Amino acid sequence: MVLPDSGSRDDLPDPDAIVQEFNSCEFALLLGMQVTEIRPGLARIRMDPTGKRNSNGVLHGGAIFSLADHAFGLAANAEGIREVAVSAHIHYMAPGNGRIEAVAERVSRTGRTSVYRVIIREGDRTIAIFEGTGIRT
């Protein structure tokens, strides 16, 4: 489900087209990511745990990072202005076992750069916190 921004402007790109672009990305397809919400500066993506566990039986940190990075990328590009990552880091808080969801929100925009915070949760439990900096190309 795509929820448009309640104060949407006519000059913003079609959110469904952006969602289609991100959902059809080869890497998103490989990891089974699905966009559930997009608004300017915000994205919500979920991922099923099947096939993404490490040798300890919990979600692999790389899969969690990938979900967060994908949500960051979608939020950063939701307004049709291309941004690419120049920095990203993650803090793992707890192991994940089930379906996880990443919610990316812009927390700052100055000049050509933006900063996004991504919270990754399994239900009500925070799994990780990711911060990414993007630069407009």
pLDDT digits (tens, 9 = 90+) for 99-121: 999 999 999 999 999 999 999 99
SS3 38: strand
Q: Please say whether the dihedral angle defined by the alpha carbons of residues 124, 126, 131 and 132, taken in this order, is positive or negative.
A: negative
Mean pLDDT, the chain, rounded, equals: 90
Q: 10 in a domain, yes or no? A: no
Half-sphere exposure of 59 (CA within 13 A, CB side): 27
Q: 9 in a domain, yes or no? A: no
The number of folded domains in the chain is: 1
Query: Residue 50: which domain range?
Result: 15-136
Give the type of residue at 79. E
Residue 24 pLDDT grade (very low, low, confident, very high; cuts 50, 70, 90): confident
Q: Enumerate the β-bridge partners of residue 8.
A: none
Q: What is the dihedral of CA 10, 132, 3, 44, to 10 degrees?
A: 160
Q: What is the CATH number for 90?
A: 3.10.129.10
Instruction: Tell whether pTM > 0.85.
Output: yes
Q: 8 in a domain, yes or no? A: no
Confidence (pLDDT) at 38: 92
Q: 5 in a domain, yes or no? A: no
